[in-house]
Structure 1
């Protein structure tokens, strides 16, 4: 069975299109369910999810909607895992829209006895702001973004893979934590796409990048053995120069964000997706 676990906090504007795309995708070729975990919501996220009950039944999906009083993505992931019945687990962000065929490809790729991890091909939709468009254009050419199954926004694993750890710990970067439990040869990049939007504007890019960097540092400190699984190609000076010459504006924005994250964060700066 395929279980899609979808944590969502105040995602009323995004959860509907996310579920619509999932339920309209090609049949996964196995029994399937989606477990929506509305955690700490102050809007209509849960109601918008429950409104898809008829569509889910018509598409052959089991839809479960959980409501948690407190927010926290890791708590939501743990609640979703406890409610899920499938051996193949897909962890999906509420702002992601899967492309046709991706769920079926995941089921096929992960239907093996050995531990395996998979993700689709991320596509960043055109951003509203010129700054985000430039950053995204350059970022997509970097080694991590071009590596098979980077897993941001959507990642999946089979039962043998999920057995490599128990509950999700209270960490910043759940997607990196999951990916690094698998060696590069265990990670499968699939051709089917999914849409993953970037945040809009320079300040929001800096906030998210700062959080991402903090998440990597946290994992390196708490789970140093996982870092050997990174397998990310290094970007040398010559390669970086070629990318910069090919897209000077994109490089300028990327470099400016990279420099800004090194500055002290404002005392009141928390993190939100920033839409």
Structure 2
């Protein structure tokens, strides 16, 4: 596969990066740059073992890592892929075909949640949340997003944001982006981890709002509507509400940075 660059920002991802690359590399011959940032494990070695380009940065920071990887790439379109996400076979080709000659600027896969090992309440929350996000997710929360050269010019230079995919998502109108292929995403496994993750997401959304990229929020009425339509099970809705209560009780203590965001998926 020619004409495709892939940037992967990886912070202490030795346990999952191999799986990510092993799923990606057979899908053609992309130019892959892994940026190991602030790693204390074998992340860089895992990437080198698979023959991809590796950049090592001393401090953790996802946007800084994405910038370094982006600067080292030569080709377009350009795919930004999370190190713990697995792209299903054929997904890269599907995303490329989605953008080819269509006038679209960005594409992301449809996320499929890996709920193995996830607690019952956390799993219920995730199922309800996915239904709430159906048709609204766009480029955010999929673990990957693909930009054309024109789309890249809209997103970059990327500012110091907490949510790179949120920034990319809000850079395009719905008619300018599309969904193709599938990604296997590992969500937070415990209620405590979900709360930490959501605190970071809320913080990132507020930051994007301040930067002039506001977006309409979902409300409780949306969940009630889905339950009435039987699109969300009552037990899953109860799990969703339980997590919201846990968030309220946790308050500002639930915050976290790049490193804790990684561990929140365990």
TM-score tier (shorter):
0.7 to 0.9
Aligned residues: 256
How far apart in 2 are the matches of 1:78 and 1:98? Answer: 22
State the Cα deviation string for residues 52-94 of structure 1 (Å, max 9, x = none): 12xxxxxxxxx21111111100000000110011121111001
Q: Which runs of 4+ in 1 moved over 3 A?
A: 112-115, 145-151, 230-238, 243-246, 267-271
Contact kept? 1:148, 1:189, Cα under 8 Å? no
The aligned counterpart of 2:195 is: 206
**1:101 alignment partner, one of 67, 83, 90:** 90
Contact kept? 2:227, 2:233, Cα under 8 Å? no
Q: CA RMSD in A?
A: 2.4
C-alpha displacement at 1:42, in angstroms?
A: 0.3
Tell me, yes or no, if structure 1 residue 258 matches structure 2 residue 241: no
How far apart in 2 are the matches of 1:233 and 1:207? Answer: 19
**2:130 alignment partner, one of 130, 137, 140:** 140
**2:8 alignment partner, one of 6, 9, 12:** 6
The aligned counterpart of 1:89 is: 78
C-alpha displacement at 1:253, in angstroms?
A: 1.6
The aligned counterpart of 2:67 is: 78
**2:152 alignment partner, one of 162, 169, 172:** 162
**2:41 alignment partner, one of 43, 49, 59:** 43
- After TM superposition, the structure 1 stretch with the greater mean CA deviation from structure 2, 132-141 or 254-263, is 254-263
The aligned counterpart of 1:272 is: 261
How far apart in 1 are the matches of 2:255 and 2:155? Answer: 34
5 Å-filtered alignment, 1:121-200, equals 121-128=110-117, 129-142=119-132, 144-147=133-136, 149-152=138-141, 153-190=143-180, 192-200=181-189
TM-score (normalizing by structure 1): 0.85
Contact kept? 2:200, 2:256, Cα under 8 Å? no
**Counterpart of 1:66 in 2: which secondary structure?**
strand
Give 5+ residue unaligned stretches, structure 1: 54-62
Contact kept? 2:78, 2:146, Cα under 8 Å? yes
C-alpha displacement at 1:233, in angstroms?
A: 7.7
In structure 2, relative to structure 1, the CA distance for the partners of 1:165 and 1:135 (3 Å cut) is closer
Contact kept? 2:7, 2:34, Cα under 8 Å? yes
How far apart in 1 are the matches of 2:69 and 2:255? Answer: 31
**Counterpart of 1:65 in 2: which secondary structure?**
strand
**Counterpart of 1:163 in 2: which secondary structure?**
helix
Contact kept? 1:115, 1:160, Cα under 8 Å? no
How far apart in 2 are the matches of 1:269 and 1:85? Answer: 33
**Counterpart of 1:266 in 2: which secondary structure?**
helix
TM-score (normalizing by structure 2): 0.88
**1:117 alignment partner, one of 106, 129, 140:** 106
5 Å-filtered alignment, 1:27-42, equals 27=28, 32-42=30-40
In structure 2, relative to structure 1, the CA distance for the partners of 1:246 and 1:117 (3 Å cut) is closer
Give 5+ residue unaligned stretches, structure 2: none
